[in-house]
Amino acid sequence: MTFCFTGIRSFPKLWKSNPYLGLGPAHSSVCLFLKDCYGIRNQQKWFSLKTASPQNTKAVNLLIAKARYPRKGDKGNKKQVSSDSPHLFAAGAAKKRSQMNPQSKDHVLSPVRDTIQLPTKPLNSEEWDKLKEDFKGKANFENWISSQMAHCRSSVDVAKSLLAWVAAKNNGIIGYDLLVKYLYLCVFHKQTSEVIDVYEIMKTRYKSLESGGNSLLIRGLIHSDRWREALLLLEDIKKVMIPSKKNYHDCIQGALLHQDVKTAWDLYQELLGHDVVPMLETLKAFFDFGKDIKDDQYSNKLLDILLYLRNNQLYPGESFAHSVKTWFESVPGEQWKGQFTTIQKSGQCLGCGKTIESIRLSPEEYEFLKGKILRDVIDGGDQYKKTTPQELKRFQNFVKHCPPFDIVIDGLNVAKMFPKSRESQVLLDVVSQLAKQNLRLLVLGRKHMLRQGSRWRRDEMEMVQKQASCFFADNISEDDPFLLYATLHSGNHCKFITKDLMRDHKACLPDAKTQRLFFKWQQGHQLAIINRLPGSKITFQRILSHDTVVQTTGDSWHIPYDEDLVERYSYEVPTKWLCLHRQT
Amino acid sequence: MPVFLKMSVSITFLRPFARCLVPFTLQRKRRVLYSTILQRYMSSKIPAVSYPNKESTSPPEQLELDGWKVTMKSSVQDEDASTVASSKDEDPLTATRELIEMWRLLGREVPEHISEEELKTLMECVSKSSKKKYLKYLYVKEKMKKAKQIKKEMKAAAKEEAKDQLLETTKEDKQQNFLFLRLWDRNMEIAMGWKGAQAMQFGQPLVFDMAYAEYMKPKELQNTVSQLLESEGWNRRNVDPFHIYFCNLQLDGAYHRELVKRYGEKWNKLLLTATEKSHVDLFPKDSIIYLTADSPNVMTTFKHDKIYVVGSFVDKNMQSGTSLAKAKRLKLATECLPLDKYLQWDTGTKNLTLDQMMRILLCLKNTGSWEEALKFVPRRKHTGYLEISQPSQEIVNRSKKSKTFNSFPKGSLNKRSQKR
């Protein structure tokens, strides 16, 4: 043990460069070997190799270089990220933030494969018997092997030989579960005639099927001439539950494949009637099919789909955006021209120069949101949960008697931005910098900030109070709802400063529509500080001036879409746009 | 230690070759991968292409693959007519029943038998996932019931056997002298009754606040009542029981109904006070302490002159701060258990079940030691006690090995002292 410790001590620099093991050397070594045994991270493996053989310096240096190399790469990435600095709600921003956080490590567990090799060609019954003997597991052999085959998408013939073997053993009877797994393989390999055979068998053998079998049959049947029977199966599902959007998608796809446009639209309406959000593939299918149809009614329905996307703040995927573009360009006599662009900071489309809709809420929307925040987020049916009635009254009086503010600051969030510097100093720094710009400030905080302590100096807090209006809530009250209300009360020009994404408060709102309104308002009014060093001049994440939503002006359409390779979180918006305009 | 040394030696030996070994194995792996992919690709592709004219191309020793279809179709032809006729006019209830049956065939977690009432509850579930959840609940319930039944039968059989043996041996049994008749259970019951009556007169009050019925779903309410029953049982068996109050218990409310249902006839003979009044009406306000995990104040000692209030509330819905809001509204003092001070918390919420709270409070009342009392906190929630006096111990506590090592002698020691 001592031997390996000396090994570690001789490379103190290396340890420092490793952020995972910030503790003392004795402690971290335990950590290291534990990790190494589990084989979680490759890098640590390199280290353990090194500690074991400190005498061979040449090789060690090589290894160190190797171990360091990925770290350097990381740093390069980081720089890139910070220089890019996408705005808080841009697609992929959260992913990048999480990558910047060094604590996140992903465990990669190698899947444990079972011992039996799946057959690649049909076997006869002797061979199956032999395979069964080899199998040692808790589960039923037939079940297990059929699941494995479904999982690995074995060929239909192999599965068929399994069924033949089972049937031969079992007086020609095959269990429902085996049949469903076989059906899955047939559907996967698009063997329509097999699907129909299984369909016949199931129809005669069982009075009714369950949802899984029905879904598979629907998916299999829509490609055949008997696709109308898929609609009957859909009716069967409806008897007990609402069919899934996938079921509807398959049926609509089937109808479109067989040129039955009316049925397709009827199914679509029915789907919307169930309050189910359709799959984007369904909508794409309508656009794809629309290329060959020259019909005003159909075109209007497609435009309705675009409006549906707008109202529900849905964004098409990349291929869907291409379909939309192709359809627009295929409309005869209208000469649409589409291009993929981005939007400038000023809110102008790079493609056509038109200004995108503003992020501002309309006055009615604004009043509506204000009322909802007060009623559902602050009050929430029980005023004692987040505050007390006395405090609420005190706050409302306070806000009423102050002229509107320009900026509302979440004192605690801002002060805790740099863990190494003193809270009150950071807060004072931010407040005085903003006060120099002649902005009317409001600082929200809790009462404990006023108590003298090592983190909160009284003189600095007094300076803050001189430069800004302050409101201190009780220590057990929540300050975020007050922040939201004060900002909303001051009017549309007022902004608020916090890094908090406010997802919990958004969740308090009753319905999706209000939540979307809140999100839109938040995008337009939240300032997040992106400084990495205390003391430097504060810079804010830029605020979008435009709303990211599907929109039209009659002779132009602007449609934001998701790129295939970017992972977008639910509270982010896409950055890429499809710009369509009519040439005159 | 020797193992470790050996390992390091073997690694040093391998290291010079490591660089040439790694690429080689990688390459080989890749080749294998390619070949399997190719194989899979071919095997799935060929039949698909040749499918339509398979009969002509297939080799003579080709297996009979489609035979089962014929039997599957034909074997039901006779009963076919009857089933089709009956399946035309069916209500959703039977359709659901059939669906469940088919799911069972598929190996899903659904019950084998389902009653009309359960089926109706199932139909009332709003979403698909809630339906699945309910079905799984029924499935697990059924399974447990079956397992219990089997156990019972086995026990009965064993008993029967033992009885036969006993009959053989006791034939020539001689007279024996005993001091007591075997009426222990009843004696214990009576003694506990006496103690309970004493507690009713002179015991320290402990309040269960029952004002949370509206925040709970039926299932949570049932869980709460189970926990209440258990805590009442723990209290009854203690040397110095609390005088339990059920405050804010609405007559014929959901709580009351469930309690009466579970206690049966015993409900009216329970040695506790159930009242519709609130605890603020019964006791002076300044002696009440409301226990809630959301409280900012930490409980340091158990005070024998205070009245502790526990909210009887199982919250599976994450409505945090409900009980704190209740206490704030009535302007009561609040406290929470010093869990973070004494335990190395690991997972789970700080909300403990009612019976755990009861046992902790009873233990505090009798011994006053936090270490003893917090033994009733579930072991899965924390990784061990924090030794405040010895900071060096803390580091040892953290690593996994020493944790089990540490807790073992402690547990065995306690067992011993209890025996004494």
Please compute the mean of the pLDDT values over residues A383-401 and round it to a whole number.
91
Phi-psi region of B277 (alpha: psi -120 to 50; beta: other; left: phi over 0): beta
For residues A153 and B44, the answer to whether their CB atoms sit within 8 Å is yes
Partners of residue B83 in chain A, C-beta under 8 Å? 207
Task: Enumerate helices (H) and strands (E) in chain A, giving the number of each.
Answer: 27, 9
Please compute the mean of the pLDDT values over residues A107-118 and round it to a whole number.
57
CB contact under 8 A, A201 and B322: no
Q: Is the pLDDT of residue A83 over 50?
A: no
Partners of residue A242 in chain B, C-beta under 8 Å? 128
Partners of residue A208 in chain B, C-beta under 8 Å? 87, 95, 98-99, 102
pLDDT at B387: 75
CB contact under 8 A, A208 and B128: no
Report d(CA B258, CA B249) in Å as an integer: 12
Report d(CA A268, CA A298) in Å as an integer: 13
Please compute the mean of the pLDDT values over residues A511-522 and round it to a whole number.
90
Q: Is the pLDDT of residue A461 over 90?
A: yes
Sheet holding B307-311, edge to edge: B273-274, B243-247, B205-209, B307-311, B288-291, B333-335
Report d(CA B29, CA A485) in Å as an integer: 61
Report d(CA A486, CA A470) in Å as an integer: 11
In this structure, what token pair is assigned to residue A472?
């201190």
Report d(CA A248, CA A276) in Å as an integer: 10
Give pLDDT tens digits for A333-354. 888 999 999 998 888 999 888 9
Q: Is the pLDDT of residue A409 over 90?
A: yes
Place of tokens 């460069």: A17
Report d(CA B220, CA B216) in Å as an integer: 6
Q: Note whether B79 contacts A: Cβ–Cβ < 8 A.
A: no
Q: Note whether A121 contacts B: Cβ–Cβ < 8 A.
A: yes
pLDDT at B328: 92
CB neighbours of A570 closer than 8 A, spacing ≥ 6? Answer: none
Q: Note whether B324 contacts A: Cβ–Cβ < 8 A.
A: yes
Partners of residue B15 in chain A, C-beta under 8 Å? 49, 53, 56, 59
Among the partner-chain residues A27, A157, A177, the one whose CB lies closest to the CB of B395 is A27
pLDDT band at A412 (very low <50, low <70, confident <90, very high): very high
Please compute the mean of the pLDDT values over residues A108-123 and round it to a whole number.
66
Task: Enumerate helices (H) and strands (E) in chain B, giving the number of each.
Answer: 17, 8
Cα–Cα distances (Å) from A305 to A78, A283, A373, in that order, read 40, 7, 31
On whether ipTM exceeds 0.85, the answer is: no
Report d(CA B167, CA B182) in Å as an integer: 20
Q: Three-state SS for B173?
A: coil
Q: Is the pLDDT of residue A14 over 50?
A: no
CB contact under 8 A, B102 and A206: yes
Q: Three-state SS for B7?
A: helix
Residue B385: what are its φ and ψ, rounded to 5°?
-80, 145
For residues A554 and A79, the answer to whether their CB atoms sit within 8 Å is no
CB contact under 8 A, B95 and A160: no
Q: Note whether A241 contacts B: Cβ–Cβ < 8 A.
A: yes
Q: Note whether B147 contacts A: Cβ–Cβ < 8 A.
A: no
- How many C-beta atoms surround the C-beta of residue A420 within 10 A? 6
Report d(CA A186, CA A155) in Å as an integer: 9
- How many C-beta atoms surround the C-beta of residue A86 within 10 A? 17
Percent helix, strand and coil across chain A, each rounded to 5?
Answer: 55, 10, 35
DSSP code, position B311: E
Q: Nearest to residue A371, comparing CAs of A531, A451, A485?
A: A485
Q: Note whether B73 contacts A: Cβ–Cβ < 8 A.
A: yes
Give me the amino acid identity at A280: L
Q: Is the pLDDT of residue A557 over 90?
A: yes
DSSP code, position A379: I
Residue A5: what are its φ and ψ, rounded to 5°?
-65, -45
Give me the amino acid identity at B269: K
CB contact under 8 A, A384 and B325: yes
Place of tokens 């019972």: B152
Q: Three-state SS for A409?
A: strand
For residues A25 and A15, the answer to whether their CB atoms sit within 8 Å is yes
Give pLDDT tens digits for A168-196. 888 888 888 899 999 999 999 999 988 99
Q: 355-374 in B: which are within 8 Å (CB) of A?
A: none
Residue A47: what are its φ and ψ, rounded to 5°?
-60, -40
In this structure, what token pair is assigned to residue A439?
């902005």
Partners of residue B322 in chain A, C-beta under 8 Å? 382, 385
Cα–Cα distances (Å) from B184 to A161, B180, B235, in that order, read 68, 9, 19
What is the nearest CA distance from A208 to chain B, expressed in angstroms? 7
For residues A537 and A556, the answer to whether their CB atoms sit within 8 Å is no
pLDDT at A411: 92
- How many C-beta atoms surround the C-beta of residue A236 within 10 A? 19
Residue by residue, pLDDT tens for chain B (420 residues) are 444 444 444 444 444 444 444 444 445 545 544 444 444 444 443 443 333 333 333 343 455 667 777 777 665 544 444 444 444 445 778 888 888 989 998 888 999 999 999 999 898 888 889 999 999 999 999 999 999 999 999 999 999 999 888 877 766 566 788 888 888 999 999 999 999 999 999 999 999 999 999 899 888 999 999 999 999 999 999 999 999 999 999 988 999 999 999 999 999 999 999 999 999 999 999 999 999 998 999 999 999 999 999 999 998 877 788 899 999 999 999 999 999 999 999 988 899 999 999 999 999 999 888 999 999 999 999 998 887 654 444 444 444 444 444 444 444 444 444 443
Does an H or E element contain B309, and which? strand B307-311
Q: Note whether B69 contacts A: Cβ–Cβ < 8 A.
A: yes
pLDDT at B74: 65
Among the partner-chain residues B4, B5, B64, the one whose CB lies closest to the CB of A164 is B64
pLDDT band at A103 (very low <50, low <70, confident <90, very high): low
Q: Is the pLDDT of residue A34 over 60?
A: no
- How many C-beta atoms surround the C-beta of residue B17 within 10 A? 10
Helix axes A389-401, A480-490, angle to 10 degrees: 30
In this structure, what token pair is assigned to residue A560?
């934001």
Among the partner-chain residues B1, B67, B400, the one whose CB lies closest to the CB of A164 is B67
- How many C-beta atoms surround the C-beta of residue B156 within 10 A? 10
Report d(CA A534, CA B259) in Å as an integer: 60
Report d(CA A278, CA A256) in Å as an integer: 16
Give me the amino acid identity at B371: E
Helix axes A280-290, A245-257, angle to 10 degrees: 10
Q: Among A61, A138, A187, A239, which would you mutate to test the B interface (most chain B Cβ atoms within 10 Å of its Cβ)?
A: A239
Q: Note whether A80 contacts B: Cβ–Cβ < 8 A.
A: no
Ordered DSSP codes for A77-113: HHHHHHHH---TTBTTHHHHHHHH-TT-----PPP--
| HSE value, Cβ hemisphere, 13 Å, CA-based, for B23 | 3
CB contact under 8 A, A386 and B321: yes
CB contact under 8 A, B15 and A49: yes
Please compute the mean of the pLDDT values over residues A208-213 and round it to a whole number.
86
Cα–Cα distances (Å) from B141 to A81, B118, B154, in that order, read 53, 12, 20
For residues B359 and B378, the answer to whether their CB atoms sit within 8 Å is no
Report d(CA A267, CA A284) in Å as an integer: 15
CB neighbours of B146 closer than 8 A, spacing ≥ 6? Answer: none
Report d(CA B242, CA B204) in Å as an integer: 5
Q: Nearest to residue A196, comparing CAs of A174, A204, A173?
A: A204
pLDDT at A130: 87
pLDDT at B45: 39
CB contact under 8 A, B106 and A382: no
Q: Are strands A551-552 and A556-561 parallel, antiparallel or unpaired?
A: antiparallel
Whole-number average pLDDT of chain A: 82
N-to-C CA span, chain A: 82
What is the nearest CA distance from A173 to chain B, expressed in angstroms? 6
What is the nearest CA distance from A453 to chain B, expressed in angstroms? 19
Partners of residue B292 in chain A, C-beta under 8 Å? none
Q: Three-state SS for A122?
A: coil
Q: Among A241, A388, A446, which would you mutate to test the B interface (most chain B Cβ atoms within 10 Å of its Cβ)?
A: A241
Q: Which residue of chain A comes nearest to B102, CA vs CA?
A: A210
CB contact under 8 A, B15 and A53: yes
For residues B227 and B257, the answer to whether their CB atoms sit within 8 Å is no
pLDDT at A139: 77
What is the length of chain B?
Answer: 420
